[in-house]
């Protein structure tokens, strides 16, 4: 089976220096030498705990290898173009099935698409359950540039609203489950908070994974030290290429030299994301769209999955007081897992889909899982 041509996950393509190779060697192997057994979740929970693969322990191993080594099951999509009220469009990629079956709506992370590996594995598991699924590709992320000057960004809940209106127009879509990853999770939580008690009854539950709840905190961590040298450089590469295309598409809108020189999210969002999307500057953009601001308004059962050692936003920095206070939010913190990692299994070629199982188990449970009481930090 063939996958729809789409934007691929950003991967390392440049030749690494000897120093970089040594650094990555120790990043991957140190966790193995520091511990002789795998670690399970440190918080009590009703489901199976996450046990990190022995060959992939630690924040950076899970984050980097989760991007590079996760399975890539073959998925055939049916693509549907959704015309937006502002004249732009979104591409929705469908995995069809029994029209009476539940529908899982998936929002990918920054620079991702329907071809991101964490999306493919969830689609594969949903398909095996006999469920349907649809991936909402963010603007410009489906393999074709979007029409307007605006770009995809972390607060684009209006696009999810347009997608939901389209889906709910079909009476077959009577049971919807929503899953958002990283930036897509931020958009999902923002939309749920904005809708509050007015979320359509067909939307039963949601799961958000590795969400950057506070974008000011997250970008400040990304723009320094190891995170800046590895993750920011990694994530900015496709975004800068996309911005350079925008500069050609809309002459005079962006300075190409500034784009090429941007090596932090502060610089990129100040000169690209903010001006193209109507924000005064990067800080105003981050502050106004952070999902932490919307959590207390959510009235839909949501499972929040986060690794304690997420290098972008460790669990210690999550808005846990707000989450604990809500009867609608369930927080599951795993000891290991990194950012969108959660790799488990005996060998890289025999991986266990713990994350996908937890997501679908939460959706399938007849009653919402009770919020997990977490010890004070």
The residues assigned a catalytic role are 182, 310, 339
Rounded to 5°, the CA angle 105-106-110 comes to 155
Q: HEC profile for the chain?
A: CCCCCCCCCCCCCCCCCHHHHHHHHHHHHHHHHHCCCCCCCCCCCCCCCCCCCCCCCCHHHHHHHHHHCCCCCCCCCEEEEEECCCCCEEEEEEECCCCCCCEEEEECCCCCCCCCHHHHHHHHHHHHCCCEEEEEECCCCCCCCCCCCCCCCCCCHHHHHHHHHHHHCCCCCCCEEEEEECHHHHHHHHHHHHHHHHCCCCEEEEEEECCCCCHHHHHHHHCCHHHHHHHHHHHHHHHHHHHHHHHHHCCCCCCHHHHHHCCCHHHHHHHHHHHHCCCCCHHHHHHHHCHHHHHHHCCCCEEEEEECCCCCCCHHHCCHHHHHHCCCEEEEEECCCCCCCCCEEEECCEEECHHHHHHHHHHHCCCCCCCCCCCCC
**HSE (CB half, 13 Å, CA atoms) of 166?**
19
φ and ψ of 355, to 5 deg: -60, -45
CB 154 within 8 A of CB 181: no
* Look-up of token digits 């020189």: 261
Residue 80, φ and ψ in degrees, nearest 5: -130, 130
* β-pairing verdict for 132-137 and 344-347: unpaired
Rounded-to-integer distance, Cα 348 and Cα 371, Å = 33
């Amino acid at each position: 089976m063939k996958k729809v041509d789409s934007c691929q996950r950003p991967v390392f393509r440049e030749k690494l220096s000897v120093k970089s190779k040594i650094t990555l060697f120790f990043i991957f192997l140190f966790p193995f030498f520091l511990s002789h057994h795998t670690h399970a979740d440190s918080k009590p929970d009703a489901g199976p705990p996450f046990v990190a693969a022995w060959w992939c322990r630690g924040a950076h191993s899970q984050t980097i290898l989760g991007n590079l080594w996760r399975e890539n099951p073959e998925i055939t999509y049916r693509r549907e173009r959704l015309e937006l009220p502002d004249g732009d469009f979104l591409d929705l990629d469908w995995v069809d099935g029994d029209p009476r079956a539940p529908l899982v709506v998936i929002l990918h992370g920054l620079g991702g698409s329907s071809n991101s590996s964490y999306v493919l594995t969830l689609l594969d598991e949903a398909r095996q359950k006999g469920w349907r699924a649809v991936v909402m590709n963010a603007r410009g992320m489906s393999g074709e540039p979007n029409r307007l000057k605006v770009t995809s960004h972390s607060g684009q809940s209006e696009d999810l609203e347009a997608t939901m209106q389209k889906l709910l127009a079909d009476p077959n879509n009577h049971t919807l489950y929503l899953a958002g990853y990283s930036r897509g999770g931020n958009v999902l939580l923002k939309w749920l908070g904005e809708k509050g008690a007015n979320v359509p009854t067909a939307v039963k539950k949601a799961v958000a994974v590795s969400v950057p709840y506070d974008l000011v905190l997250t970008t400040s961590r990304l723009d320094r030290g190891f995170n800046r040298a590895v993750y920011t450089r990694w994530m900015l590469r496709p975004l800068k290429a996309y911005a350079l295309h925008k500069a050609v598409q809309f002459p005079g809108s962006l300075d190409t030299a500034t784009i090429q020189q941007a090596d932090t999210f502060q610089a990129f969002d100040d000169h690209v994301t903010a001006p193209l999307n109507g924000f005064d500057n990067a800080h105003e953009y981050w502050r106004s769209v952070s999902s932490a601001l919307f959590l207390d308004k959510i009235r839909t059962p949501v499972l929040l999955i986060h690794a304690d050692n997420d290098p972008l936003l460790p669990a210690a920095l999550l808005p846990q007081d707000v989450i604990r206070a809500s009867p609608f939010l369930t927080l599951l913190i795993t000891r290991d897992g990194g950012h969108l990692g959660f790799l488990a299994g005996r060998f890289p070629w025999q991986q266990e889909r713990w994350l996908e199982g937890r997501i679908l188990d939460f959706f399938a449970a007849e009653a919402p899982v009770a919020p997990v009481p977490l010890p004070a930090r």
